[in-house]
Amino acid sequence: MSARLWFCWGFLPLGALLLMGASRIHTHPAPGNLPLMVVFSAEQHGYLTPCGCSKPMLGGMPRRGEYLSQLAQKYSLIRVENGNLTKALDRQDELKAETLIEMFNAMNYDAINLGDKDFRLGLNYLLALEKRSKTPFLCANVQRQGALVFKPSVEVERDHEGKAQRFLIVGVVSEKGEAKIKSVNPDLTVQPVSEALQAMHETLSKPDTVKILLFQGRRADAEQIAKDHPQFHMIVYAQEGDHYSPARTVGQTVLVCNGQDGKYMGQSKLSANPDARLGQIEYVALGPDYADSSLIMQIKMAYLSRVEAENLLGQVQKRPTLNGDTFAGSAACEPCHQQDYRIWKASRHGDALKTLEDDKHDKDPECVVCHVVGLDMVSGFRNMQETPNLKDVGCESCHGPAAKHVKDPTIQLGKAGMDSCMQCHVPQHSPRFDFDTYWEKIKHGGSK
Ligand code: HEC
Ligand code: HEC
Ligand code: HEC
Ligand code: HEC
C-alpha cells in the first residue's frame, strides 16, 4: 500500500501535490490502460456521517471519499449521484446541501440528478447551488414556461483500457413527484418521463455511446422506462429503503439501486459485450474498514462550524410540556433522591452531552435533542450557558418536567416506563434496545 502511494507521488512535483491536496481528493494520475467503472448512488438524505449512536454504522461521505480514491487507483471512474441530496425540511438541510456540493466537487463527480426533495429547496435556491457546483445538475423533464430549467443530459468521455469511451448521462424525476415539486415551485411543470425521453430520441440514438439514465423514481416505473426506451444500458432508480436492491435486467438494460442514505455504493465495470456494457454490478458497504478521507472530513467540520455560527440550536421550535409544568434540572432532585441521583450520575445518561462535545456535535440540534433534557420543549435545554442544569439525559427526560414536585413532593409525577425510552431509543439510534436488559443497567427508585 505505502509502496504504491510512494510510486504515484513520485510522478508529481511537490507544488502540484499540495495544490491537489488543498482542493480535491488525491485521485492519482491515471497511468493509462485502466479499465472503466461507473460508481452510482442516490438519496443521501443529508446523511453526512454516521451519528455513531451504535457501532458499527454504515455510510458517510468521508468514507465515500476514501472508497473513491482507492478505486481511482485501479479504474478510470465515472461518478454519478441520483438526487435527493437532503430531506429539504429546514435551514440545516440547506447547509447540508451546500456541504454535499463541496464534497462532490472534491470527489470529481460527473453528474448530479435532481429529485423531488431537491426541488423542495426552491428553484432559486437550487439555481444558486448549481453555481457552486463543478458537477452539472440534470433534469430532463422539469420546465418553466415550456423550457427546461436544468441540463437534460451530460456527455462524458473516459479512457477505457487505453481507448476513449463516450458516455451519455440523462437525468429525470418521476412525474409522481409533481405535486411535491409544485407545492414549493408553482410555476414549474413536470413532464411525463416517457414524453421527455421521446423528445430526446436523437440524442439517445448516438452510436458507440454508453447510456445511463438517472431516474429519481421507483423500480416498477424504471422497468417500464427500460421497456419503452431500450437504448439505455443502465437505469439507476431510487426510493427502495436504505438497503441496496439486487440488479435486474430488462432486455439489455440493467436496473440498479444502491439504497438510501449512502450506506452502500453501487459499482459496475464496463464489459466488452456491446449488448450489456454495464453488466457486472457490485454493492459495497461503507463500513469502518474505510478510513475517513481527511479532506471530506474537513468539509464536514466546516459544516458543523456553520451550524454553530448560525445558532441553529437556539432556533429549535419549543412546544408546551405535556403536564404544563417546567423543568427543574437533575441537581434539584439530588437532596431528596440521593441514591437515584448517584445511580443516574454513574450511568451513560449522566454524561450524554459530553459524548457530543467529544464529537463536536454539541451545537447540532439534530443530535442534542436526544442527549439533553427537553430541547424541543418550553423551559427545556437551550445551551450550556443558560441551562447547564438541563444538559445530559436527566431525570426529567423520563419522568417529565417536575418543578412543582420539587417544591411540593406530594404532587405526583406520571409513571415513567418503556414509552419514555422510545423517545430516544429508536431503532436507527439504538438498534439493540431491549427494555429489560437496558433497564437493568440503569434501574433505580427502590429506596429514596
Ligand atoms: C433519536 C435520538 C438520538 C439522536 C437524534 C441522536 N442520538 Fe446519539 N444516542 C442515542 C441513544 C439512544 C444512544 C445510546 C444507544 C445505545 O447504546 O443503544 C446514543 C449514543 C450515542 C453515542 C455513544 C455511542 C457509544 O457507544 O459510545 C454517540 C457518540 C452519539 N450518540 C452521537 C450522536 C450524534 C453525533 C448525533 C447527531 C448526528 C446523535 N447522537 C443523535 C440517541 C440519539
Ligand atoms: C432513562 C429514564 C430515567 C431516568 C434518566 C431517570 N429515571 Fe427514575 N425511573 C425511570 C423508570 C422507568 C422508573 C420505574 C417506573 C416507575 O416507577 O416510574 C423510575 C423510577 C424512579 C423512582 C421510583 C418511582 C416509584 O414509583 O417508586 C424514583 C423516585 C425515580 N425514578 C427518580 C429519579 C431521579 C431522581 C432521577 C435522576 C437523578 C431519575 N429517576 C432518572 C426512568 C428514569
Ligand atoms: C424536597 C424533596 C424532593 C425533591 C427535591 C424531589 N423529590 Fe421526588 N419525591 C420526594 C418524596 C418525598 C417522594 C415520595 C412521595 C410520595 O410517596 O408521596 C418523591 C417521589 C418521587 C417519585 C415517585 C412518585 C411519583 O411522584 O411519581 C419520582 C419519580 C420522583 N420523586 C422524581 C423526582 C424528580 C425527577 C425530582 C427532581 C426534578 C424530584 N423527584 C425531586 C421528594 C422530593
Ligand atoms: C432523552 C433521550 C433518552 C431517553 C428518554 C432514554 N435514553 Fe437511554 N440513552 C440516551 C442516550 C443519548 C444514551 C447514550 C449516552 C452516551 O453514551 O453519551 C443512552 C444510553 C442508554 C444506556 C447505556 C447503553 C449501554 O450500552 O450501556 C442504557 C442502558 C439506556 N440508555 C437505557 C434507557 C432506558 C431503559 C430508558 C427508558 C426508561 C432510556 N434509556 C431513556 C438517550 C435516552
**Confidence at 233, pLDDT banded by 50, 70, 90:** very high
The ligand placed nearest to the CA atom of residue 433 is 1
- What pLDDT does 173 receive? 98
Does residue 177 carry a pLDDT above 70?
A: yes
Could you identify the atom of ligand 2 that is nearest to the CA of residue 345? 38
List, as one string, the DSSP characters of 50-88.
---SSSS----HHHHHHHHHHHTTTSEEEEEE-S--S--
The response to whether residue 398 sits with its C-beta less than 6 Å from ligand 3 reads no
Segment 233-240 shows an average pLDDT of: 95
- CB neighbourhood size of 118 (10 A): 24
The response to whether residue 413 sits with its C-beta less than 6 Å from ligand 3 reads yes
CA 43 remoteness from chain centre: 7
The ligand placed nearest to the CA atom of residue 332 is 3
Does residue 10 carry a pLDDT above 70?
A: no
Torsion angle, alpha carbons of 96, 97, 102, 108, to 10 = 130
Does residue 257 carry a pLDDT above 50?
A: yes
- What pLDDT does 271 receive? 87
Residues of the chain with CATH 1.10.1130.10: 318-442
Segment 357-375 shows an average pLDDT of: 97
Cell of 316: 429549535
Residues of the chain with CATH 3.60.21.10: 31-304
Closest residue by CA, ligand 4 atom 27: 348
CATH architecture of 318-442: Orthogonal Bundle (1.10)
**Could you tell me the distance, in angstroms and rounded to a whole number, from the CA of residue 396 to the centre of ligand 2?**
9
> Which residues touch 363 (CB under 8 Å, ≥6 apart)?
304, 307, 308, 311, 312, 313
Q: Exposed, middle or buried by CB within 10 Å (0-12, 13-18, 19+), for 415?
A: exposed
**Could you tell me the distance, in angstroms and rounded to a whole number, from the CA of residue 412 to the centre of ligand 3?**
7
**Confidence at 21, pLDDT banded by 50, 70, 90:** very low
φ and ψ at residue 317, rounded to 5 degrees: -65, 130
- What pLDDT does 18 receive? 34
Mean pLDDT, the chain, integer: 92
Which amino acid would we find at residue 396?
A: E
The ligand placed nearest to the CA atom of residue 425 is 1
pLDDT in tens, 413-445: 988 999 999 999 999 999 999 999 999 999 999
Judge contact between 149 and 118, C-beta under 8 A. no
- What pLDDT does 272 receive? 81
The response to whether residue 54 sits with its C-beta less than 6 Å from ligand 1 reads yes
> Which residues touch 158 (CB under 8 Å, ≥6 apart)?
36, 76, 77, 78, 164, 165, 167
pTM for the model stands at 0.92
The response to whether residue 340 sits with its C-beta less than 6 Å from ligand 3 reads no
Could you identify the atom of ligand 2 that is nearest to the CA of residue 413? 18
**Could you tell me the distance, in angstroms and rounded to a whole number, from the CA of residue 424 to the centre of ligand 1?**
9
Cell of 337: 433522591
The response to whether residue 348 sits with its C-beta less than 6 Å from ligand 4 reads yes
The residue with greater pLDDT, 11 or 339, is 339
pLDDT in tens, 52-93: 999 999 999 999 999 999 999 999 999 999 999 999 999 999
The response to whether residue 343 sits with its C-beta less than 6 Å from ligand 2 reads no
**Per-residue CA distances from 10 to 1, 4, 5, 20, 41 (Å):** 14, 10, 9, 14, 33
**Per-residue CA distances from 6 to 9, 12, 63, 291, 292 (Å):** 5, 11, 22, 19, 20
Which amino acid would we find at residue 111?
A: A
- What pLDDT does 277 receive? 87
Strand boundaries in 270-428, DSSP class E? 280-285
pLDDT in tens, 281-327: 999 999 999 999 999 999 999 999 999 999 999 999 999 998 899 99
Q: By three-state DSSP, how is residue 40 classified?
A: strand
Q: Exposed, middle or buried by CB within 10 Å (0-12, 13-18, 19+), for 199?
A: middle
Could you identify the atom of ligand 3 that is nearest to the CA of residue 395? 35
Closest residue by CA, ligand 4 atom 35: 439
**Per-residue CA distances from 185 to 91, 116, 172, 384 (Å):** 18, 11, 17, 40
Strand boundaries in 251-293, DSSP class E? 253-257, 264-269, 280-285
Does residue 20 carry a pLDDT above 80?
A: no
**Could you tell me the distance, in angstroms and rounded to a whole number, from the CA of residue 86 to the centre of ligand 4?**
28
**Confidence at 279, pLDDT banded by 50, 70, 90:** confident
Q: How far apart are alpha carbons 418 and 182 in whole angstroms? A: 41
Query: CATH class for domain 31-304?
Result: alpha beta
**Could you tell me the distance, in angstroms and rounded to a whole number, from the CA of residue 196 to the centre of ligand 1?**
44
The response to whether residue 370 sits with its C-beta less than 6 Å from ligand 2 reads no
**Confidence at 2, pLDDT banded by 50, 70, 90:** very low
What's the N-to-C CA distance of the chain in angstroms?
60
**Confidence at 17, pLDDT banded by 50, 70, 90:** very low
Closest residue by CA, ligand 3 atom 10: 409
- CB neighbourhood size of 156 (10 A): 18
Could you identify the atom of ligand 4 that is nearest to the CA of residue 371? 12
**Residue length, the chain?**
448
**Mutate which of 392, 398, 410 for ligand 2 pocket (most atoms within 8 A of beta carbon):** 398
**Confidence at 140, pLDDT banded by 50, 70, 90:** very high
**Mutate which of 45, 47, 51, 53 for ligand 1 pocket (most atoms within 8 A of beta carbon):** 53
The ligand placed nearest to the CA atom of residue 442 is 4
Could you identify the atom of ligand 2 that is nearest to the CA of residue 341? 38
Could you identify the atom of ligand 4 that is nearest to the CA of residue 354? 18
The response to whether residue 357 sits with its C-beta less than 6 Å from ligand 1 reads no
